[in-house]
Amino acid sequence: MSVRVTVDRNWQKHIQANLHELLDKLGEDITEDAKRLAPVESGKLRDSISYEVEDRTVHVYSDVDYSPFVEAGTSVMNPQPYLKPALYKNRES
């Protein structure tokens, strides 16, 4: 029995293209879950949650100045995590 293997000289480009698609889908999923989990008073925090894919990294973030305090809490406010749970929910994806 013989096996024939053909090597695609553009294999790195194919992997990179598929990787970007997978990271984009992961970013969408985490962002959707974070928006669902975010506490809502005015909706500003929830609406600010977004993501970017840069190289081989997904950045999920909120650009409102109080978002870290909601996630982690303060000395006068209990934490209301929304980013970490969204990340952990999707870590097996």
Which amino acid is located at 93 in the chain? Answer: S
Reported as a single tens digit per residue, the pLDDT across 9-48 is 787 777 777 888 889 999 999 999 999 999 999 999 999 9
pLDDT value, residue 20 = 85
For residue 77, with 0-12 CB atoms within 10 Å meaning exposed, 13-18 middle and 19 or more buried, which class applies? exposed
For residue 10, with 0-12 CB atoms within 10 Å meaning exposed, 13-18 middle and 19 or more buried, which class applies? exposed
pLDDT value, residue 44 = 97
pLDDT value, residue 55 = 84
Q: Which two tokens stand for residue 77?
A: 């406010």
CB-based contact 79:89 (threshold 8 Å): no
